[in-house]
Chain A
Amino acid sequence: MNHLIVAPLLLPLLMGAIIVLAVNRSMALHRTLGLISSLLVTLITGALLYQAATGPIQMYVLGDWSPPFGIIMVLDRLSAMMIFITSLLAFLCLLYAVKGTDEQGKNFHALFQFQLLGINGAFLTGDIFNLFVFFEIMLLASYGLVLHGGGARRTKAGMHYVMLNLVGSSVFLIGVGILYGLLGSLNMADMAVRLAHAPSDNAALLQAGGLILFGVFALKAALLPLYFWLPNAYGFTSAPVAALFAVMTKVGVYVILRVYTLIFGDHAGVAANVLEPWLLPVALVTLVAGSIGVVASRDLRQTIAYMVVASVGTLLAVIGTFGVDAIAAAIVYLPHTTFMTAAMFLIADMIRQQRLDAGAALTPDRPVGQERLLGLLFLGAAVAIGGLPPLSGFTAKVTMLMGVQSHAAAPWIWSLVLIGGLLGLIALGRAGSVIFWKTIPLDDSGVDAFSKEPHANIPRYSAGYVFPVLILLAISPLLVLFGGPLSDFGYAVAAQISQPVYYIEAVLGSDAVAALMSAGGR
């Protein structure tokens, strides 16, 4: 058994606990421990990604209780990619956070490690009740992080976020209860096999159970009727937290992709493809609503938060076609949108701190202190997010549009994705011109803005401050340069997901696959 698989969970858990014990020690110690842990987890998940990309699906059996009885962790290509993205993003966000954000509260670093544990656990687990537990760990840490730093707006947005997610947890348990009551198993691979044999009397209940779970995952992913918590929660929280949360909505996307291909896939008998009529329309409407929010926002951070909604809509619309090409294309888009939105949250925070009165609001103000630096960073991130040619947004969107072209709803997806992209560009262009061009001039144009009175107290960014943002932005051209291997990897992931027999064989052995086949599945 490969013990490396469980390391991305144990390391943050251990480090978080140590940081809690050292709560009254110096912030420098917290920072060192947090950074070491995140860096190690990034390296480990990188190694796991390499193993998963070149090898078969691996399983880690906790306590050696062999499936379907115990809890298992499963490392396939999709989960390996997701934990690598999460860990890398967490490390870069932490590099930014240690420049000052973490000083607003004592427990930032401990919560950050527990957050990492929860997200990585949700990606790795192969058991649906354990998924619930990791969701709760992830949410409890995120409640603390959303409220980090305090303030009335954060508290208000945080309260909505907490209460909605508490309701979501209850609904998750109802869904799991229905499915366990009918199938008698919680191991996802075993549930898939049992669902294939489920009698047709239970069809309605099984389908209802599946769709109740979709409601919870839609809340996590921020799909249309359930995204209203996101713009305020993400827009008003501290920047590194918002940047890390760029991957939290992707937990919802991942779980939808996992559960509705593995458990409720083609072979699921009476509940086969239960999500197919729902996902695409809901995702397209989310894309439209998110794009309208992007244009309508009067605050830069909220604009970006709505871009998260629009990107989830795009991603799930493409996944909603359930084609192999489309899923492969979505895999190419996913890292791009996660890293670029995160970069944009950090850049917006740097802009906010250097504007004297307006903060992140899109109203004219005196110029920012380091106009060239911030202007160039904003331009780079905007080109990437907006989907303009040299950077990864363009290649990723083209790949997606090509991936869905054989689907019947392709005209809808094409036009809405393209219009959404155009609205995003307009909003970013407008934000950039208000912040950098439509400025109120300083009293007398001088050599150094920082020596003047109104600018005297604002922070000046050193190379170390900008470094994590630069790394995040550098990922975009890298995604273009290595577009070939990335697209091949996307196909490898999609091939693995759309044939759940590989997953079931890795977890339960070939007998289970034979049982699945005998039910008349593919």
Chain B
Amino acid sequence: MELLFSICLGVMIACGVYLMLRGRTFPVILGLTLLGYAVNMFLFVSGRLHTNLPAVISPERAQYADPLPQALVLTAIVIGFAMVAFVVVLALRASGELGSDHVDGRKENES
């Protein structure tokens, strides 16, 4: 499972970084979102991967999954969601004000 998880994370990060390096705002925002997802998954596994364990302490079991990373991920998801919402609005406004959806505000023919 560890191998599968790390391959998924790696692919997500690679796609996110690739999209982030594009010139238009829409792929960049997609890239930021993808990177955010990958980071949230990474943060989640900082409590290690377990199967069949209670999420919080249970009297019948000796072991339990670390609840703290779950709380951290929840915080990170909320913050990341707000940030993406903000950057989408900003990108819309920028394309209105600069007349282009390029991150540097360039026109079509300048590329």
Residues of A participating in the B interface, judged by any CB pair closer than 8 Å: 129, 133, 136, 140, 143, 147, 150-152, 155-156, 158-160, 162-163, 166-167, 169-170, 173-174, 176-178, 180-181, 186
Contact = CB atoms under 8 A, between A and B. Distances in A.
B15 interface: no
B79 A133 contact: yes
A163 B103 contact: yes
A156 B98 CA distance: 8
Q: State the 10 A-B residue pairs at the shortest beta-carbon distance, nearest first.
A: A181-B46, A177-B46, A177-B43, A170-B39, A180-B46, A173-B39, A156-B105, A155-B94, A136-B79, A152-B97
Interface hub of B47, B79, B86, B98 (most chain A Cβ within 10 A): B79
Interface in B56-111: 68-69, 72, 75-76, 79-80, 82-83, 86-87, 90-91, 93-94, 97-98, 103-105
Given A133-B79, A155-B105, 5 more contacts: A140-B82, A140-B83, A156-B98, A158-B90, A163-B87
B91 A159 contact: yes
A163 B32 CA distance: 8
Contacts of B32: 163, 166-167, 170
Contacts of B43: 173, 176-177
6 contacts: A140-B86, A151-B97, A155-B90, A163-B103, A173-B42, A181-B48
A129 B72 contact: yes
Interface of B: 20, 25, 28, 32, 35-36, 39-40, 42-43, 45-48, 68-69, 72, 75-76, 79-80, 82-83, 86-87, 90-91, 93-94, 97-98, 103-105
A483 B48 CA distance: 53
Given A163-B28, A180-B46, A181-B48, A155 B97 contact: yes
Q: Is the interface of A mostly helix, strand, loop or mixed?
A: helix
B5 to A, nearest CB: 13
B105 to A, nearest CB: 5
A156 B94 contact: yes
Contacts of B86: 140, 143, 162
Nearest to B47: A181
Contacts of B72: 129, 176, 180
Q: Is the interface of B mostly helix, strand, loop or mixed?
A: helix
A436 B105 CA distance: 34
A133 B87 contact: no
Given A133-B75, A133-B79, A150-B97, A159 B103 contact: yes
Contacts of B48: 181
Given A155-B97, A167-B20, A174 B39 contact: yes
Contacts of A160: 103
A77 B36 CA distance: 36
Nearest to A184: B66
Contact of A159 (B25, B46, B82): B25
A366 to B, nearest CB: 30
Nearest to B75: A133
B103 A162 contact: no
A162 B105 contact: no
Nearest to A158: B90
B90 A159 contact: yes
A169 B91 CA distance: 19
A414 B93 CA distance: 46
Given A152-B105, A177-B46, A136 B83 contact: yes
A178 B90 contact: no
B16 to A, nearest CB: 9
Contacts of A143: 86, 90
Contacts of A169: 79-80, 83
B91 A166 contact: no
B100 to A, nearest CB: 10
Contacts of A178: 46
Contacts of B83: 136, 140, 166, 169
A440 to B, nearest CB: 32
Contacts of A180: 46-47, 68-69, 72
Contacts of A186: 68
A169 B43 CA distance: 13
Contacts of B46: 177-178, 180-181
Contact of B42 (A152, A155, A166, A174): A174
A216 to B, nearest CB: 12
A169 B87 CA distance: 14
A191 to B, nearest CB: 13
Given A140-B86, A163-B32, A163-B87, A177 B103 contact: no
Contact of B90 (A147, A173, A177): A147
Contacts of A176: 43, 72
B90 A167 contact: no
A158 to B, nearest CB: 7
A143 B76 CA distance: 18
B55 to A, nearest CB: 17
B45 to A, nearest CB: 8
Nearest to B33: A166
B103 to A, nearest CB: 6
Contacts of A155: 90, 93-94, 97-98, 105
Nearest to B105: A156
Contacts of A173: 39-40, 42-43, 76
A464 B83 CA distance: 38
B35 A170 contact: yes
A151 B94 CA distance: 9
